């Protein structure tokens, strides 16, 4: 047939190599804080998944692996998109001015929801996934109260302050080489601001009966609080169950 001849001449098999297979990931449990909840956290039925924008752990293939893991364990999950708090990261990493950083952070949050919605829709029959943005929660009255308590605790308690600052200090010492000592300290302060805002958001979700937080990575201060340290932290943080996930390529 002419079409067959034309096809074989115009598109030889060697002209277009087959697409590279999409790498797949499998989410697995890393650890749980407090340890006493290791075998019981799934019984709560509701959880929230924390999303860090522009973080490689939240590419679509990895998001899919986490969504599949969640769908086998929880009937309901809130996907917390860290849009407004990401402005702090953009100020430090891109040197954006605050209004520009906030605008870009909100745009990235909308893009994440748009791009990842199909992944969660695929699993809708097993788990009711809903999105909430940090920018929404930061408009709640409860958020302001929790944030004020956390700020005061940070200012007053040296152990809590050192714990919150430790991640920012490690990160910026490694990634801000060449920055002056003054600039390094400024970035560390802004990282602390990020975590205090984020912790206040977590308090709001715990208050609304979301007792289990999932995240593909480490949250040292949260683990410490959940394990019984930093007794001056809000009750909602002290009662939160923090579940760390590990993403394995396969």
pLDDT digits (tens, 9 = 90+) for 58-107: 999 999 999 999 999 999 999 999 999 999 999 988 989 999 999 999 99
Max Cα–Cα distance, the chain, nearest Å: 83
pLDDT at 180: 79
- The 3-state secondary structure of the chain, one letter per residue: CHHHHHHHHHCCHHHCCCCCCCCCEEEEEEEEECHHHCCCHHHHCEEEEEECCCCHHHCHHHHHHHHHHHHCCCCEEEEEECCCCHHHHHHHHHCCCHHHHHHHHHHHHHHHHHHHHHHHHCCCCCCEEEEEEHHHHCCCHHHHHHHHHHHHHHHHCHHHHHHHHHHHHHHHHHHCCCCCHHHHHHHHHHHHHHHHHHHHHHHHHHHCCCCEEEECCCCHHHHHHHCCCCCCCCHHHHCCEEEEEEEEEC
Contact of 201 with 80, CB cutoff 8 Å: yes
pLDDT at 170: 80
pLDDT at 8: 29
For residue 76, say if its preceding peptide bond is cis, omega within 30 degrees of 0. no
pLDDT at 240: 97
Q: 8 lies in a domain?
A: no
pLDDT, tens digit only, all 250 positions of the chain: 333 333 323 323 334 344 444 678 999 999 999 999 999 999 999 999 999 999 999 999 999 999 999 999 999 999 999 999 999 999 988 989 999 999 999 999 999 999 999 999 999 999 999 999 999 999 999 999 999 999 999 999 999 999 999 987 887 777 666 677 787 888 889 999 999 999 999 999 999 999 999 999 888 999 999 999 999 999 999 999 999 999 998 7
State how far Cα 219 lies from the chain centre. Answer: 10
pLDDT at 16: 39
Q: 43 lies in a domain?
A: yes
pLDDT at 183: 79
pLDDT at 175: 64
* Structural domain that includes position 133: 24-139+207-249
pTM, entire model:
0.88
Q: 182 lies in a domain?
A: no
**CATH number (domain holding residue 244):** 3.40.50.11710
Q: 188 lies in a domain?
A: no
Which pairing describes strands 241-249 and 25-33: parallel, antiparallel, or unpaired?
antiparallel
pLDDT at 232: 96
Q: 193 lies in a domain?
A: no
- For the chain, how many structural domains are there in total? 1
Q: 161 lies in a domain?
A: no
Q: 93 lies in a domain?
A: yes
pLDDT at 218: 85
pLDDT at 177: 64
Q: 228 lies in a domain?
A: yes
């Amino acid at each position: 047939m002419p079409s067959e001849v034309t096809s074989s001449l115009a598109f030889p098999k060697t002209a277009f190599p087959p697409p590279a297979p999409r790498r797949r990931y499998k989410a697995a449990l890393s650890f749980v804080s407090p340890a006493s909840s290791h075998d019981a956290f799934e019984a709560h039925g509701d959880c929230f998944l924390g999303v860090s924008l522009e973080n490689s752990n939240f590419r679509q293939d990895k998001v899919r692996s986490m969504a599949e893991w969640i769908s086998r364990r929880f009937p309901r999950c809130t996907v917390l998109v860290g849009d407004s708090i990401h402005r702090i990261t953009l100020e430090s990493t891109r040197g954006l001015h605050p209004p520009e950083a906030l605008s870009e952070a909100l745009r990235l949050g909308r893009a994440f929801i748009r791009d990842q919605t199909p992944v969660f829709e695929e699993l809708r029959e097993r788990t009711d996934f809903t999105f909430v943005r940090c920018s929404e929660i930061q408009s709640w009255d409860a958020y302001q109260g929790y944030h004020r308590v956390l700020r005061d605790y940070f200012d007053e308690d040296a152990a809590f302050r050192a714990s919150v600052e430790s991640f920012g200090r490690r990160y910026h010492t490694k990634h801000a080489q060449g920055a002056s000592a003054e600039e390094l300290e400024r970035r560390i302060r802004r990282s602390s601001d990020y975590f205090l805002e984020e912790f206040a958001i977590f308090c709001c979700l715990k208050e609304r009966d979301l007792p289990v937080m999932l995240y593909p990575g480490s949250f040292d201060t949260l683990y410490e609080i959940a394990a019984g340290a930093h007794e001056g932290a809000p009750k909602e943080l002290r009662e939160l169950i923090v579940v760390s996930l590990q993403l394995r390529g396969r």
